[in-house]
Amino acid sequence: MSRSRTTGIDLAARWLFIGLLILYTIYNLGPIFWLLISSFKSRMDLFTMPPKIFFTPDLSGYESVFGVGSAKDSASAFGVFESLVNSVIVSTVGTALAVFLGTLAGYVCSRFNFSGKGDFMFFVLSTRMLPPVAVLVFYHLMFAELGLADTRFGLILVAIFANIGLATWIMKGFFDGVPQEVEQIAIVNGYTRMYAFLHLVLPMVKGGIAATAGFCFIFAWNEFAFASILTTTKAKTLPVKISAASGATGIEWTQICAAGVVLIIPVLIFFYLIRKHLLMGMTFGVLGRR
């Protein structure tokens, strides 16, 4: 019955769908290909019309990002490498602390019922939804007052608060997957709840902690709004430095493209490591637990 229905219309629809999928793939991957190519172009090759696909590769963009070679003394490369170092420090320290706090909070939210738990969970999640510019109006004043403006410490504080919500919700999801009996049996056998948490439950969610760290790192690494307003010179992160990459000759496209590629690399590594937990991270631990 159903087989005889496979008519010309169905076949045409199938080819149409394949065509659209290919079209979307070009739209999706084309710009990334273009970014990669452009990062190896010299300033001359960037502006040629028609655009060149084949050209002699030029590493000046990468040299300025890593602060090596001819870029060392060039004015346009000033401080780019330092901002890469800032990015690495802020996002790794911020991630580690956010995951630590999120793990503790996630465990409590998964295991205990306490008054105000729903409100706490909403409050925590809402921090993730917050438009950065809204709180920045006040941060701008607060950070200046506390001497946190343009410091890595200030940005680490921001990275912690901005990622606690995500970390708590994802970790709660992972803890929900560990049966309550684990602690119950331990307590019956005379161990404390703390012992059960540290030595039994935590090792069971090791993978979850790694995935959570991956997510927090990606968000902290790409963060722009906070860093752009709260830093002026010495604590600038790489995304902020990119946005300021306009020298005497206009926007330094080679440098921007190279920095863009460099910014993707750690994200790609984490992305590969956490690919199984992707859903969990994107939906606050609600989906993907199954």
User: Residue 9 corresponds to which tokens in the numbers above?
Assistant: 């219309």
Among 55, 66, 161, 191, binds another protein (CB under 8 A): 161
Euclidean distance between CA atoms 64 and 97, whole angstroms: 31
Residue 42 contacts another protein per CB under 8 A: no
Contact pattern for another protein over residues 82 through 111, marking x by CB under 8 A:
-------------------xx-xx-xx---
| C-beta closer to another protein: residue 17 or 70 | 17
Among 55, 96, 271, 273, binds another protein (CB under 8 A): 271
* Cα separations in angstroms, 242 against 41, 103, 205, 216, 239: 17, 33, 37, 21, 5
CB of 28 to another protein, least distance (A): 5
CB of 71 to another protein, least distance (A): 19
Indicate the residue type of 40: F
Residue 288 contacts another protein per CB under 8 A: yes
Site for another protein in 166-205 (CB under 8 A): 168, 187, 192-194, 197
| C-beta closer to another protein: residue 75 or 137 | 137
Euclidean distance between CA atoms 108 and 211, whole angstroms: 19
How many residues of this chain interact with another protein, rule: CB under 8 A? 99
Alpha helices in 39-180 (DSSP H): 43-46, 60-66, 80-111, 117-129, 132-146, 152-176
Residue linked to tokens 């890595």: 152
Residue 268 contacts another protein per CB under 8 A: yes
| C-beta closer to another protein: residue 72 or 117 | 117
| C-beta closer to another protein: residue 67 or 288 | 288
CB of 230 to another protein, least distance (A): 11
Q: How far apart, in Å, do the first and last CA atoms of the chain sit?
A: 36
- Burial string for 100-116 (b: 16+ CB within 10 Å, else e) reads ebbbebbbbbbbeeeee
